[in-house]
Every structure is written in structure tokens, then in C-alpha cells.
């Protein structure tokens, strides 16, 4: 067990460094963790060996995956049903534009510019179409936007985009089998029962030091995650849907949400974001940067062309519209999942995977840094948070 404790200490040391960097540089903790993961893999891998970081250890994979699941659940729980009812047209329009434009543009770029075959090109389009709920939610939480109507609308749009990604991945590549039908039927039943069962169960047995509420929610998330994996889907999708259907109950229990955030951001998400950053091979990108650059430019450009006019159509001011567009340009969770799906099923090769994974992670960092540095809509910040946010560049 000595090696396990030492490796855990190393990862938490990296998480602490990332937190300090986020404070010093005034950037999102999620982004600093991605950057630290990339640099740590480069330095430690060159000095000692790439296996030292232990990204393929089963317990590291578990904590990383659990972090993505719980973070995605929290993002879904932040959605206000009333806001969603009022803003569903805007959320749906932004989300669909955010999916279709980069999907088509990146698939075309892979096929006609990079010379990839059609099937790998479609996989590239799916991987680059995503918006990272994990990154966007972390940024929203960092600045307090998660409590605003604006933030909740953006999170709803993220859900629409990633739902399109999951559907496309399933329809184009994953076989529709009896397992899929069982998963859909079980999911439908759970999503109907949970909003009725959860508040009654919590009222009768909750409020005790045993943290029954957290155990119940983790059981639901891991149970549906296991069923999703068995059906060749992804565990984060039911997590987001469970968060959405419980937004009116669990989402309003601020004490419970605060405790879940402590668990998630204190222990779990550092493993997810640092591990994601460690997949970026800087030497490989320097040696063959073309595909990475093409995908990153085409994805962000397609998001701007697709999303910005839609936000303007719904009356967003220019700064707010650009900020929304840049956040919708981020990718991480479903992008890396889609890329890894393609690699593990022989749809793309290792070189194509490296280019896609790097572009996905690059899109998590660059648009968010630019958005927070130059286009942060300070007028939408909760009053108590305004004084803690540095002035945007150029203002």
C-alpha cells in the first residue's frame, strides 16, 4: 500500500499546486488542474518515466470517473426548472447550433483537409462537437454565475449540445441492441420515480450524521452509470439527467449541495482534470501539430459562426454573447470519451486519437482563458462576487 499512498499524495500535491496557481493567476481551478496535469506528465515523464504519474491505475481511473459523474450531476442539479421553462427556446437553439456547426465542420475538415477516411472523420466531428459541462459548471461556480438565470440557461444549452453528441455517437457507431432498450426503459423508470421518491425518503430518514442523502445519491449515480456502461453508453449522461430531474428537490437543499461540492472539488475532480491534462503529449504536438491546429481552429470557428448569431437573436448584449459563445466552445468530458471510444473500437488510430484528445483539451483551456480575461460579463455577477473579480482586460 506504500506505493498507493505515495501516488495519492503526489496527485493531491498537484491539486494543491493547481489551486494556488488558480488563485495567483486568477483563472478557473479546473483549467489550472488541466495545465498542471499536462506539465506534470511532461516533466515527471521526462525525468523519471511516464508511468510514475499512474494515470492508468484502476483506482485513479475510478476517482477520475466518479469525479466526472458527480460534477455532471451537480451541474444538472443547478438547473432551475422555472428558468428552463422560460428559457428553453434559447437553450435549445444555442445548444443545437453548438452541436451541429462544429460536427459538420470538423468532420469535413478531417476528411477533405487532413485526408482521413469517412468513418474516422465522422468520429472526429462527434468528438469536436461537444461542450464541456464539467468546465462550464466549474467556471460558473467559480464566479457565482450558477445562481443566476444567465448561468442556468448556459448550463441547459450545454446539456442540449452534449445530448446531441451522445445521440450522434450512438446512432453512427454504437449498435442499438436489447441492452440499449433495457437501459432506456430503466432510465425512464428511474427518472420518473426519483423526483417522487427522493424528497419523501430524505424527509423520513435524512438529516443525520450518517450522510444518508449522499449515500442514496451516489447509489443512484453509480447504479445508472453501471447500467449505461453495460449498454455501451456513458455514465455521465444519466448523471446529468438525474441532476436535472432532482433540481427541484436536491438542487434546493443548499447544505447538501455544499457537502457534495466539498467531496467533489476537494477530492474527486482534481483526479479528473489533472488526468485529462496528462493525456496531452507536448512533444507529439510539436512533432505533428497540423491536425491539432486544424481541429482547434475549425471547432472554435464553427462554434462562433453557429452560436454567436443565435445569442444575438435572443437579445444578448455583445460582451455576454461572446462570453457565452466562448464557453460553448469548450470541450472535455464527452470529447475525450468520444475520442477514447473511437480508439478502443478501432475507428481511429493512436495518432488520430492524440490529435483529437489534444484539440479537445486545448478547447477546454484556450476559449475559457480568453473568455474570462477579456469578456467576463461583470454586470451579471452576483453583487457579493463582483469585488472579488479582477477587471477584464481592455476595460
CATH number of residue 375's parent domain: 1.20.1530.20
User: Does any domain span residue 167?
Assistant: yes
- Which domain does 205 fall in, by range? 14-48+64-386
User: Does any domain span residue 291?
Assistant: yes
Residues 6+ apart with CB under 8 A from 343: 349, 350, 353
Q: What is the pLDDT of residue 394?
A: 43
Question: What is the count of structural domains for the chain?
Answer: 1
User: Does any domain span residue 72?
Assistant: yes
User: Does any domain span residue 5?
Assistant: no
Per-residue pLDDT of the chain (395 residues; tens, 9 = 90+): 888 999 999 999 999 999 998 888 777 777 788 889 888 888 887 666 567 788 888 899 899 889 888 988 887 787 777 777 788 889 899 999 999 999 999 999 999 999 999 999 999 999 999 898 778 888 888 888 878 888 888 888 988 898 888 778 777 876 678 888 898 899 999 999 999 999 999 988 888 888 899 999 999 999 999 998 888 777 777 887 898 888 878 877 888 888 888 988 899 989 988 887 787 777 777 777 888 899 999 999 999 999 999 999 988 888 899 999 999 999 877 787 788 778 867 888 878 888 888 898 888 888 988 988 888 888 777 665 554 555 554 44
User: Does any domain span residue 379?
Assistant: yes
User: Does any domain span residue 271?
Assistant: yes
498507493: which residue's cell? 4
Helix then strand count (H, E) for the chain reads 18, 0
CA pair distance 334, 235, nearest whole angstrom: 11
User: Does any domain span residue 348?
Assistant: yes
Q: What is the dihedral of CA 167, 260, 269, 271, to 10 degrees?
A: -120
CA pair distance 80, 59, nearest whole angstrom: 34
User: Does any domain span residue 107?
Assistant: yes
CA pair distance 195, 189, nearest whole angstrom: 11
Q: What is the pLDDT of residue 207?
A: 82
Q: What is the pTM of this model?
A: 0.77
Q: What is the pLDDT of residue 249?
A: 81
Amino acid at each position: 500500500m506504500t506505493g498507493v499512498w505515495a501516488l495519492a499524495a503526489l496527485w493531491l500535491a498537484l491539486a494543491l499546486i493547481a489551486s494556488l496557481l488558480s488563485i495567483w493567476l486568477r483563472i478557473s481551478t479546473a483549467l489550472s488542474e488541466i495545465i498542471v496535469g499536462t506539465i506534470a506528465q511532461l516533466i515527471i515523464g521526462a525525468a523519471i518515466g511516464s508511468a510514475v504519474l499512474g494515470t492508468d491505475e484502476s483506482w485513479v481511473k475510478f476517482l477520475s470517473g466518479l469525479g466526472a459523474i458527480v460534477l455532471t450531476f451537480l451541474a444538472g442539479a443547478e438547473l432551475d426548472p422555472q428558468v428552463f421553462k422560460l428559457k428553453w427556446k434559447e437553450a435549445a437553439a444555442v445548444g443545437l447550433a453548438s452541436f451541429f456547426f462544429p460536427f459538420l465542420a470538423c468532420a469535413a475538415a478531417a476528411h477533405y483537409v487532413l485526408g482521413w477516411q469517412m468513418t474516422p472523420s465522422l468520429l472526429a466531428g462527434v468528438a469536436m462537437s461537444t461542450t464541456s459541462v464539467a468546465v462550464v459548471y466549474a467556471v460558473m461556480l467559480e464566479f457565482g454565475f450558477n445562481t443566476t438565470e444567465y448561468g442556468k440557461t448556459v448550463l441547459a444549452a450545454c446539456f442540449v449540445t452534449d445530448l446531441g453528441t451522445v445521440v450522434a455517437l450512438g446512432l453512427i457507431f454504437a449498435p442499438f441492441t436489447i441492452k440499449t432498450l433495457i437501459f432506456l426503459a430503466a432510465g425512464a423508470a428511474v427518472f420518473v420515480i426519483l423526483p417522487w421518491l427522493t424528497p419523501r425518503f430524505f424527509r423520513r430518514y435524512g438529516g443525520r450524521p450518517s450522510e444518508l442523502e449522499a449515500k442514496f445519491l451516489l447509489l443512484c449515480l453509480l447504479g445508472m452509470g453501471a447500467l449505461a456502461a453495460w449498454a455501451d453508453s456513458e455514465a455521465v449522461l444519466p448523471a446529468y439527467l438525474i441532476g436535472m430531474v432532482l433540481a427541484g428537490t436536491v438542487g434546493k437543499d443548499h447544505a447538501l449541495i455544499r457537502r457534495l461540492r466539498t467531496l467533489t472539488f476537494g477530492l474527486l475532480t482534481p483526479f479528473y482534470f489533472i488526468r485529462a491534462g496528462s493525456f496531452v503529449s507536448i512533444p507529439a504536438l510539436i512533432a505533428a501539430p497540423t491536425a491539432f491546429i486544424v481541429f482547434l481552429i475549425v471547432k472554435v470557428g464553427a462554434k462562433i459562426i453557429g452560436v454567436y448569431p443565435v445569442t444575438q437573436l435572443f437579445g444578448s448584449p455583445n460582451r455576454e454573447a461572446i462570453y457565452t459563445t466562448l464557453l460553448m466552445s469548450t470541450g472535455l468530458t464527452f470529447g475525450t470519451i468520444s475520442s477514447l471510444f473511437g480508439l478502443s473500437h478501432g475507428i481511429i488510430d493512436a495518432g488520430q486519437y492524440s490529435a483529437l484528445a489534444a484539440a479537445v483539451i486545448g478547447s477546454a483551456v484556450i476559449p475559457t482563458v480568453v473568455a474570462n480575461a477579456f469578456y467576463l460579463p461583470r454586470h451579471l455577477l452576483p453583487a457579493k462576487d463582483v469585488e472579488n473579480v479582477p477587471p477584464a482586460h481592455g476595460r
